[in-house]
């Protein structure tokens, strides 16, 4: 399944909405297309917060079903990554 950007009669919001539906159904390419513009920022954020940038997109992918609004995708992504990093930090502190 390949969803292309735009097209005749397709607005950016419709395209993003279609990508989100596909991503929720497990379509990795759709999630990749949605996060392409913020990926670098999210990976950098994850690296500075918990030194785990390689897992940032996996965290986002695992939680894509919880996303509700296309207008705040980057904010949602940052929140998901932040919460996961904080969870890991708490777990590490408890073990110490």
- C-alpha distances in Å from residue 31, one per residue of 3, 38, 65, 80, 84: 11, 12, 11, 14, 19
Question: Would 52 be classed as within a structural domain?
Answer: yes
Task: Note whether residue 60 is domain-resident.
Answer: yes
pLDDT at 51 over 80: no
Structural domain total, the chain:
1
**In the prediction, which pLDDT does 70 show?**
58
* Residue 1: inside a domain: no
Give the structural domain span for 53.
12-95
Q: What is the CATH number of the domain that holds 23?
A: 1.10.1740.10
Q: Is the pTM of this model over 0.95?
A: no
Give how far the C-alpha of residue 93 lies from the chain's centroid of Cα atoms, to the nearest Å: 26
Give a yes or no: residue 7 inside a domain. Answer: no
DSSP string, 6-29: --TT--HHHHHHHHHHHHHTT-HH
Vertex 62 angle, CA 60 and 67, to 5°: 65
Give a yes or no: residue 6 inside a domain. no
Give me the phi and psi of 35, to 5 degrees please.
-95, 5
Considering the domain boundaries, does residue 42 fall inside one?
A: yes
Judged against a pLDDT cut of 50, whether residue 71 lies above it is answered with: yes
């Amino acid at each position: 399944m390949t969803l292309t950007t735009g097209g005749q009669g397709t607005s950016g919001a419709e395209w993003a909405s279609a990508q989100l539906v596909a991503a929720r159904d497990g379509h990795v390419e759709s999630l990749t297309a949605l996060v392409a513009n913020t990926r670098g920022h999210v990976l950098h954020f994850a690296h500075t917060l918990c030194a785990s940038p390689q897992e940032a997109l996996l965290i986002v992918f695992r939680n894509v079903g919880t996303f509700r609004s296309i207008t705040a995708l980057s904010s949602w992504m940052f929140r998901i990554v932040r919460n996961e990093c904080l969870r890991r930090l708490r777990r590490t502190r408890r073990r110490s």
